[in-house]
């Protein structure tokens, strides 16, 4: 499946920023793609857009066209999310939680995973920045979804047991603040699963600026190690990590792809990185 992306609209103006991960003001240009430019932080090595689009400009890209894309791909994306959760040991976490457990899917699109979690007995809801997609989730799937960013949703403190964030954090201008907000709304001992393209994957190494995740809508390109460090810096305890996707469909003969897909899970060079982290319990 091709990743959804829109070219910047006329009139969008980028803003120069310090590294959103470590705060360093020094970055070296990496790729200039015309529509967007990526830089590598001289302090921590994080790769991010600089200049980057403003948050309102980014949000406006998610419109009816995005809804159509998500409706068309809802089922295959749900299967991929469930496979990723399985790799992170979700069922084990689920079984450890009491009745009344609460689940939040951030960037829930049309609400397919929210609906799935509700059928498994969770009090499940979502938040989605695309207004048409959030409306679809409420009307068609009948699930509770708030429209806007996670911060705009303004959930109470300590109200969720599990927060799922799949292919979202790379779109968020300030990922550290985003993770702090997730920790605020998680109960002590609660869990968070974060999934994002893996900048240190085999495909990223082979294709460079032609890697399929180097697109205008991705303001960050995380390495798995960088994501783990950012989670830890915001008070999370990373518990489990995984990668998958050794080679994209059509880029290698089927036997080679199958071999690389298996190896990616073992050796950690998959195109997608996932981390399961916990909001620590307070000390006794």
What are the pLDDT digits (tens) for 223-273? 999 999 999 999 999 999 999 999 988 888 999 999 999 999 999 999 999
Task: Tell me the pTM.
Answer: 0.95
Range of the domain at 107: 54-278
Work out how many domains the chain is built from and give that number: 1
Domain CATH for 62: 3.40.50.150
- Residue 80 to residue 38: CA distance in whole angstroms: 28
Residue 9, pLDDT score: 81
SS3 per-residue string spanning 168-228: CHHHCCCHHHHHHHHHHHEEEEEEEEEEEECCCCHHHHHHHHHCCCCCCCCCEECCHHHHH
- Residue 185 to residue 89: CA distance in whole angstroms: 22
Asked whether residue 9 is assigned to any structural domain, the reply reads no
Asked whether residue 153 is assigned to any structural domain, the reply reads yes
Asked whether residue 257 is assigned to any structural domain, the reply reads yes
Asked whether residue 27 is assigned to any structural domain, the reply reads no
* pLDDT bucket at 97, cuts 50 / 70 / 90: very high
Asked whether residue 33 is assigned to any structural domain, the reply reads no
């Amino acid at each position: 499946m091709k990743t959804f992306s829109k070219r910047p609209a006329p009139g969008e103006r980028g803003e120069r920023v310090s590294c959103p991960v470590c705060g360093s003001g020094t970055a070296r240009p990496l790729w200039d793609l015309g529509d967007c430019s990526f830089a590598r932080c001289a302090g921590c090595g994080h790769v991010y857009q600089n200049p980057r689009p403003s948050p309102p400009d980014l949000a406006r890209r998610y419109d009816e066209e995005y809804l159509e894309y998500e409706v068309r791909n809802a089922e295959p994306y749900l299967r991929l999310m469930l496979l990723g959760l399985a790799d992170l040991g979700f069922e084990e976490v689920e079984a450890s939680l009491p009745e009344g457990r609460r689940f939040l899917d951030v960037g829930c699109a049309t609400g397919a995973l929210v609906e799935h979690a509700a059928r498994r007995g969770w009090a499940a809801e979502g938040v989605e920045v695309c207004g048409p997609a959030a409306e679809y989730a409420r009307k068609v799937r009948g699930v509770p979804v708030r429209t806007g960013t996670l911060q705009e949703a303004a959930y109470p403190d300590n109200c969720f047991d599990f927060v799922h964030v799949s292919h979202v954090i790379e779109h968020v201008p300030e990922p550290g603040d985003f993770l702090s907000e997730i920790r605020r709304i998680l109960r002590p001992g609660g869990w968070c699963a974060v999934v994002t393209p893996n900048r240190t994957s085999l495909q990223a190494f082979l294709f460079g600026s032609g890697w399929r995740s180097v697109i205008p809508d991705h303001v960050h390109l995380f390495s798995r190690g960088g994501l783990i460090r950012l989670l830890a810096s915001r008070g999370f305890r990373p518990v489990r990590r995984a990668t998958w996707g050794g080679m994209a469909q059509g880029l290698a003969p089927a036997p080679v792809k199958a071999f690389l897909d298996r190896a990616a899970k073992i050796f950690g060079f998959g195109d997608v990185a996932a981390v399961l982290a916990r909001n620590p319990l307070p000390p006794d």
